[in-house]
Amino acid sequence: MTDLFFAPVERVRRYIDANLTEPLTLADLAGHAGLSRHYFSRLFRAATGDPPMRYLMRRRIEHAQGMLADRRHSVCEIAMLLHFADQSHFCRSFRRRTGQSPLQYSRAH
């Protein structure tokens, strides 16, 4: 597939990175790409290997790792800033992705 074919995906990837602290939905991302949700999801997965919302979660966890290493925000603040449902959801998602709790990660870095 051509680069032109995946241009909307790259545009959305940059949009995600620039808006990690904003509430983002699949409809928002597809709208930013100018595509239907279904087609956008298929195209995004073909280009990145991940569904859009899994990619968003991964990028938020990676951003949280940097925030935890800075130690400027509490775990609860990070969960709120990155739009997790609550601190528990953030901790579960973080552990699933990294193998450590946010506190363990913060202490190690």
Final residue of a structural domain among 15, 32, 53: 53
pTM of the model: 0.90
pLDDT level of residue 1 (50, 70, 90 thresholds): very low
The mean pLDDT of 39-63, rounded to a whole number, is 96
CATH number at residue 103: 1.10.10.60
Q: Does residue 4 carry a pLDDT above 70?
A: no
Q: Tell me: do 61 and 104 sit in the same domain.
A: yes
What spatial distance separates the first Cα and last Cα of the chain, rounded to whole Å? 40
Residue entry with tokens 């800033």 = 81
pLDDT digits (tens, 9 = 90+) for 70-109: 999 999 999 999 999 999 999 999 999 999 999 999 999 8
Other CB atoms closer than 10 Å to residue 102's CB: what's the count?
24
Residues 39 and 70 both lie in one domain: no
User: Mind listing the pLDDT tens digit for each residue in 8-21?
Assistant: 999 999 999 999 99
